[in-house]
Chains A and B, each alone.
Chain A
Amino acid sequence: MATPYIGASIKRKEDYRFLTGAGNYTDDVALPGQTHAHFVRSPHAHAKIKSIKKDKALKAPGVVAIFTGDDLAGAKVNGLPCGWLITDVNGQPMKEPPHPCLAQGKARYVGDHVAIVIAETYPQARDAAELVKVDYEELPAVVRAAEARKNGAPVVHDIAPDNTCYVWGLGDRAAVDKAFSGAAHVTTLEFLNNRLVPNAIEPRAANATYSRADDSYTLYVANQNPHVERLLMTAFVLGLPEHKVRVVAPDVGGGFGSKIYLYAEDVVCTWASKQINRPVKWTADRSESFVSDAHGRDHVTRAELALDREGRFLAMRVTTTANMGAYLSTFASCIPTILYATLLAGQYTTPVIYAEVTAVFTNTAPVDAYRGAGRPEATYVVERLVETAAREMKMSPAEIRRRNFIKTFPYQTPVALLYDTGNYEATLAEALKIADVAGFQGRRADAARRGKLRGLGYSCYIEACGIAPSNVAGALGARAGLFEAGEVRVHPTGKVTVFTGSHSHGQGHETTFGQVVADRLGIPMEDIDIVHGDTGKILFGMGTYGSRSIAVGGTAIVKAVDKIVAKGKKIAAHLMEAAEADIEFKDGAFVVRGTDKKKAFAEVSLAAYVPHNYPLDKLEPGLNENAFYDPANFTFPAGSHICEVEVDPDTGTVSIVNFTAVDDFGKIINPMIVEGQVHGGLTQGIGQALTEGCHYDKESGQLVTGSYLDYCMPRADDVPAFKVGTKETPCTHNPLGVKGCGEAGAIGAPAAVMNALTDALGVRDIEMPATPQRIWRACQESKMKKAA
Chain B
Amino acid sequence: MSETRNIAVTVNGKRYERSVDVRLTLADFLRGPLGLTGTHLGCEHGVCGACTILVDGQSARSCLMLAVQANGHEIATVEGLAPSAERLHPLQEAFRDNHGLQCGFCTPGMLMTLVEFLRDHPNPTEGEVRVAISGNLCRCTGYQGIVAAALDAAGRMRKGG
Interface positions of A (Cβ within 8 A of B): 11-12, 14-25, 27-28, 61, 123, 199-203, 251-254, 256, 285-287, 505-508, 672-673, 675-676, 678-684, 707-709, 713, 715-717, 719, 721-722, 745
Contacts and interface: CB of A to CB of B under 8 A. Distances in A.
Given A19-B88, A22-B38, A680-B139, A14 B104 contact: yes
Nearest to A198: B139
A684 B139 contact: yes
Contact of A719 (B38, B96, B143): B143
A286 B40 contact: no
The 5 closest A-B pairs by CB, nearest first: A21-B38, A18-B104, A253-B105, A679-B142, A506-B103
A23 B139 CA distance: 18
B106 A201 contact: yes
B125 interface: no
A201 B139 contact: yes
B17 interface: no
Nearest to B108: A21
B13 to A, nearest CB: 15
A684 B141 CA distance: 10
Contacts of B147: 716, 721
Contacts of A200: 103, 105, 139
B66 to A, nearest CB: 13
Contacts of A681: 142
Contacts, number: 177
B143 A675 contact: no
A16 B93 CA distance: 9
Contact of B99 (A12, A123, A254, A722): A12
B47 A716 contact: no
Contacts of A675: 99
Contacts of A285: 43-44
B146 interface: yes
A722 B43 contact: no
A690 to B, nearest CB: 14
Interface string B50-94: 100000000000000000000000000111011000001000100
Given A12-B99, A201-B138, A285-B44, 19 more contacts: A17-B104, A19-B82, A19-B88, A19-B96, A21-B37, A21-B79, A28-B31, A61-B1, A201-B40, A201-B50, A201-B139, A253-B104, A254-B139, A676-B99, A676-B102, A676-B144, A683-B143, A707-B43, A716-B130
Given A19-B111, A21-B78, A202-B42, A716 B133 contact: yes
Contact of A20 (B47, B50, B79, B139): B79
A20 B50 CA distance: 14
A207 B80 CA distance: 28
A199 B43 CA distance: 10
A716 B103 contact: no
A679 B138 CA distance: 12
Residue from B88, B102, B108, B143 whose CB has the most chain A CB atoms within 10 Å = B102
B143 A716 contact: yes
Contacts of B23: 123
Contacts of B138: 201, 716
Contacts of A251: 103-104
Contacts of A22: 38, 79
Given A20-B88, A21-B79, A506-B104, A203 B42 contact: yes
26 contacts: A15-B96, A16-B88, A17-B104, A18-B107, A19-B92, A19-B101, A20-B78, A20-B82, A20-B88, A21-B39, A21-B79, A21-B108, A61-B1, A203-B41, A251-B104, A252-B103, A253-B104, A254-B102, A285-B44, A506-B140, A676-B99, A678-B142, A683-B142, A717-B130, A717-B131, A721-B147
B45 interface: yes
A14 B1 CA distance: 43
A709 B45 contact: yes
Given A20-B92, A713-B137, A722 B102 contact: no
Nearest to A686: B142
B48 interface: yes
A284 to B, nearest CB: 10
A17 B99 CA distance: 14
A431 to B, nearest CB: 18
A673 B103 CA distance: 12
Residue from B139, B143, B145 whose CB has the most chain A CB atoms within 10 Å = B139
B139 A713 contact: yes
A285 B44 CA distance: 7
Nearest to A289: B43
Contacts of B136: 716
Interface string B17-45: 00001010000000100001111111111
Contacts of B41: 27, 203
Contacts of B130: 716-717
| Number of chain B interface residues as a range | 35 or more
Given A18-B101, A19-B96, A676 B141 contact: yes
A684 B142 CA distance: 8
Given A11-B97, A25-B40, A715 B140 contact: no
A507 B99 CA distance: 11
Nearest to A253: B105
A203 B40 CA distance: 10
Residue from A12, A27, A256, A717 whose CB has the most chain B CB atoms within 10 Å = A717
Given A15-B95, A713-B139, A201 B38 contact: no
Contacts of A21: 36-39, 77-79, 81, 108
B67 to A, nearest CB: 13
Contact of B96 (A12, A507, A716): A12
A722 B141 CA distance: 11
A681 B104 CA distance: 16
B38 A20 contact: yes
Contacts of A61: 1
Contacts of B145: 676, 679
Contacts of B143: 679, 683, 715-716, 719
B134 A201 contact: no
Nearest to A684: B139
A201 B23 CA distance: 24
B80 to A, nearest CB: 9
A16 B89 CA distance: 11
B37 A15 contact: no
B58 to A, nearest CB: 20
B103 A253 contact: yes
Nearest to B102: A506
Nearest to B133: A716
Given A11-B97, A12-B96, A19-B95, A680 B45 contact: no
Contacts of A17: 104
B44 A25 contact: no
A679 B144 contact: yes
B142 A722 contact: yes
A502 to B, nearest CB: 15
B105 A19 contact: no
Given A15-B95, A716-B147, A708 B139 contact: no
Residue from A678, A681, A708 whose CB has the most chain B CB atoms within 10 Å = A708
B142 A23 contact: no
Interface in B109-145: 111, 126-127, 129-131, 133-145
Nearest to B148: A721
B103 A286 contact: no
Contact of A707 (B47, B50, B131): B47
Residue from A19, A200, A745 whose CB has the most chain B CB atoms within 10 Å = A19
Contacts of A680: 102, 139-142
Contacts of B81: 19-21
A287 B44 CA distance: 9
Residue from B48, B105, B107, B108 whose CB has the most chain A CB atoms within 10 Å = B105
B103 to A, nearest CB: 3
A508 B42 contact: no
Nearest to A677: B102
B38 A254 contact: no
Contacts of A201: 40, 42, 48, 50, 103, 105-106, 137-139
Contacts of A721: 126, 144, 147
